[in-house]
Amino acid sequence: METRTGIGYDVHQFAEGRKLILGGVEIEHDRGLSGHSDADVLSHAIADAILGAIGEPDIGFYFPPTDDSIEGISSLEILKKAAELVREKPGGRIVNIDSTLICEAPKVMPHAPAIKEKIAGALGISVDRVGIKATTNETMGFVGREEGIAALASASVEVARK
């Protein structure tokens, strides 16, 4: 077996009249995030990290924003697809996920246990294999001006050595 690591990054602007979904959990906030799906920036970064670890294209390849049939899709479905692609590899399994949300508001850490449960469930891994952290941008840049949220993630996967 060999261990592979991938990284993911995503960002979405805030938008009026949308729910804020982070890691599959609806979080009370005055605005949600703009996007073709539910705009779950955290799930998108995690999915891209997983896909990168197995050498696959990013989520836009599998879930293009031009596909009207998936408009509003839950990003947990995107995570399930990423996990499925790992399991299709000989010996493929997700070892762990680590992630960081970057936003001034809302406070994310009170929701971390629920987020970990949702992500672990979508990926088919145990909760202790999912890391969720949050930080601010110290009022700098678009995140600091509360124009949007960014997320970073890393994923470790195992696959059979060729």
pLDDT at 162 over 80: no
Return the domain boundaries, the chain.
2-159
Handedness of CA 148, 34, 121, 87 (dihedral sign): negative
Q: What is the mean pLDDT of the chain?
A: 96
Answer yes or no: CATH 3.40.50.970 is held by domain 2-159.
Answer: no
| Confidence label for 161 from pLDDT (cuts 50, 70 and 90) | confident
Segment 120-144 shows an average pLDDT of: 97
Give the pLDDT score at 103: 97
Place of tokens 């799906």: 37
| CB atoms closer than 10 angstroms to residue 126 | 10
Encode 81-109: b = buried (16+ Cβ within 10 Å), e = exposed. Answer: bbbebbeebeebebeebbbbbbbbebebe
Closest residue by Cα to residue 112 from 9, 35, 49, 42: 42
End-to-end CA distance of the chain: 9
Helix H or strand E segment including 159: strand 148-159
- pLDDT digit string (tens) for 82-97? 999 999 999 999 999 9
Give the pLDDT score at 88: 97
